[in-house]
Amino acid sequence: MKISGAEGLIKSLICEGVDTVFGYPGGQIIAVYDKLYDYQKEIKHILVRHEQGAIHAAQGYARSTGKVGVVIVTSGPGAANVVTGLGDALMDSTPLVVITGQVASAFLGTDAFQETDVVAITQQLTKWAVQIRRPEDIPSMVARAFYIASSGRPGPVVLDIAKDAQAGFAEWSHRSCNFIRSYNPHPEIPVSDITEIADMLNNAERPMILAGHGVTIANAEQTLMCVAEKGNIPVATTLLGRSNLPFNHPMHKGMLGMHGNLGPNIATNKADVILAVGMRFDDRITGDVKQYAPDAKIIHVDIDPSELNKIVHAYKAIHGDAGQLLTALLPLMKHRDRDEWLKLFKKCEEIEHREVIDPELHPNKQKMNMGEVISIVSEHAPENSICVTDVGQNQMFAARYFGCRSHRAFISSGGLGTMGFGLPAAIGAKIGAPRREVILFVGDGGLQMTIQELGTIMAYDVNVKIVLLNNSFLGNVRQWQELFFQGRYSQTEMTNPDFVRLASAYGIAGENVTVREELEGAINRMFDHKGAYLLNISIDADDMIFPMVPAGGSINTIILNPTTKLSL
């Protein structure tokens, strides 16, 4: 029996295991939405309030579940509104299939109403983008899209489907895709390379493991922990790898990078062997590349060969999967006494506690800091909670002070740094993991970029806990203006609405927290509440996130606080 291309699309999605999609209807995708009406038991559609909200919610869903996030939007402005999310997903290796409507084939190239060249716009921001003009091509293209999005280094794929392909009829059958000629997403790591890496780590005096988001994607956190324990090797994580090890694990030495912990940054430039697995050496990690890890033999393992030797030249570059590498290494690792090496981290921790952490968590002033708020929230949060952040100071403070204790517990916009990511991503994360507490840390600037998604929370009763760290500034930019532009606060002060009353208009409970004495009780009420909750917490406008490596500077030069700079 022949069926419409629109129905064939829905049936193909079901065959790929899709049970949830995020989207917004429109004229050029209406045939798909009409058929979706017949499959409401099989696929739950989340109607967001803006297409950017759809793609960020799909990212949150994908990151909390490990599944492919699916987005359906119309042509023209609908398609254009997901572009930011595509760039975000590509940089952060998030698997998405984004389905866009398109004008009928006969009108392509005529500047028809709501026509845009979606493929041309999105090719540089996707793993694959294709336009479909015939209904019979839909099943094979859907299967191919899911294979590409989820294999190798995951990422976004766009299927731009012409209106006549949706409306036309064709025979339908589904066949999963597991091979594409010239595409090798599962490279084998030679045994000789694994043996050599194990020997290098076992014989090193000052080894380190730098663990990135690729470890999370490979579901290899437990294996990473076993490798570190068996080899007695300290581990530092990237921003997106924050939940690779429990925050209090003795081998977990903290976060790398611009606002990372002192120990990992200092130790990087003293290590003799570095195993960098599932991370890409972006500029926020390395600082000045010429001064980065001068004494280390760097072993770089990544599933994406384009990342190897792109920024940092590796002594040994391995094209392979993080999970495969760690699993093969584990039986070859040997325990060594590295007390002197580990003492360096202990010394750095003592300095950081004295100069940064203790003043942040126990401030000698009336106004509250982001660090103390996040730390207290973390103490009260259930063990398997998911921390979602927006971008800015709230993101960096959350990465430092929220104690991740479980799998896929930290979701943030890393490479693109997209303000407005947090609220819809938290919605998607909660829909993907309904039994886990999802806590969003967001600033007043980022919240207002996608604040309309409070309507999505209202419509679907999404139990997200929103911790609004409100300093009435674009805090991260203000910090740079304070430190590097002589305190000239150009266009960073915010005039804000009453956020609690605004949330109340959407049926979301909340309260204002203006003094420290109110904080703990408010946090308890938030977690006790059965639905979504917003805490609007007044934060010291002068609060700044430290330590800080100045952009482009060496990781040996670290600003510990406004008056203390450490140079080693």
- Give the CA diameter of the chain: 75
β pairing state of 252-255 and 438-443:
unpaired
Tokens 């050496």 identify what position? 281
- As given in the structure block, the two tokens for residue 416 are 């693109």
| Half-sphere exposure of residue 420: CA atoms within 13 angstroms, side-chain side | 20
Q: Which of 154, 8, 128 is nearest to 67 (CA)?
A: 154
Report yes or no: 119 and 160 within 8 Å, Cβ to Cβ.
yes
Predicted local confidence at residue 261, as pLDDT: 96
Report yes or no: 401 and 369 within 8 Å, Cβ to Cβ.
no
d(CA 453, CA 227): 42
DSSP letters for 503-547: HHHTT-EEEEE-SGGGHHHHHHHHHHSSS-EEEEEEB-TT----S
The set of residues, in sequence order, having a beta carbon less than 8 Å from that of 467 and lying 6+ positions away, is 373, 374, 377, 439, 440, 441, 442, 526, 535, 537
Predicted local confidence at residue 557, as pLDDT: 87
Q: Name the class of domain 191-345.
A: alpha beta
3-state SS class at 392? coil
Residue type, 113: F
- As given in the structure block, the two tokens for residue 37 are 């009406």
User: Buried b / exposed e across 54-68, counting CB within 10 Å, b at 16+?
Assistant: bbbbbbbbbbbbbbb
β pairing state of 533-538 and 464-470:
parallel
The predicted model scores a pTM of: 0.97
Predicted local confidence at residue 567, as pLDDT: 65
Report yes or no: 259 and 545 within 8 Å, Cβ to Cβ.
yes
Report yes or no: 384 and 436 within 8 Å, Cβ to Cβ.
yes
3-state SS class at 491? coil
Q: Which of 214, 239, 254, 216 is nearest to 415 (CA)?
A: 239
| Half-sphere exposure of residue 375: CA atoms within 13 angstroms, side-chain side | 14
d(CA 207, CA 224): 14
- As given in the structure block, the two tokens for residue 165 are 């392909």
Domain ranges of the chain: 2-171, 191-345, 366-538
Predicted local confidence at residue 365, as pLDDT: 87
Predicted local confidence at residue 568, as pLDDT: 59
Chain centroid to CA 326: 22
User: Buried b / exposed e across 177-192, counting CB within 10 Å, b at 16+?
Assistant: beeeeeeebeeebeee
d(CA 253, CA 256): 9
Predicted local confidence at residue 126, as pLDDT: 98
The CATH code of the domain at 2-171 is 3.40.50.970
The CATH code of the domain at 366-538 is 3.40.50.970
Does this chain's domain 2-171 share its CATH topology with 366-538? yes
Report yes or no: 376 and 520 within 8 Å, Cβ to Cβ.
yes
- As given in the structure block, the two tokens for residue 353 are 């506690």
d(CA 247, CA 472): 30
Predicted local confidence at residue 42, as pLDDT: 98
Q: Which of 140, 121, 127, 58 is nearest to 93 (CA)?
A: 127
Strand (E) positions, 121-189?
Answer: 128-132, 156-162, 169-171
Report yes or no: 202 and 334 within 8 Å, Cβ to Cβ.
yes
Peptide bond into 547 cis (omega under 30): yes
First to last CA, the chain: 73
SS (H, E, C) 330-377: HHHCCCCCCHHHHHHHHHHHHHHHHHHHHHHHCCCCCCECHHHHHHHH
d(CA 324, CA 306): 19
d(CA 282, CA 290): 14
Predicted local confidence at residue 413, as pLDDT: 98
Tens digits of pLDDT across the chain (568 residues): 899 999 999 999 999 999 999 999 999 999 999 999 999 999 999 999 999 999 999 999 999 999 999 999 999 999 999 999 999 999 999 999 999 999 999 999 999 999 999 999 999 999 999 999 999 999 999 999 999 999 999 999 999 999 999 999 999 999 999 999 999 999 999 999 999 999 999 999 999 999 999 999 999 999 999 999 999 999 999 999 999 999 999 999 999 999 999 999 999 999 999 999 999 999 999 999 999 999 999 999 999 999 999 999 999 999 999 999 999 999 999 999 999 999 999 999 999 999 999 999 999 889 999 999 999 999 999 999 999 999 999 999 999 999 999 999 999 999 999 999 999 999 999 999 999 999 999 999 999 999 999 999 999 999 999 999 999 999 999 999 999 999 999 999 999 999 999 999 999 999 999 999 999 999 999 999 999 999 999 999 999 999 999 988 888 889 999 888 876 5
d(CA 394, CA 359): 17
Report yes or no: 452 and 50 within 8 Å, Cβ to Cβ.
yes
Report yes or no: 98 and 54 within 8 Å, Cβ to Cβ.
no
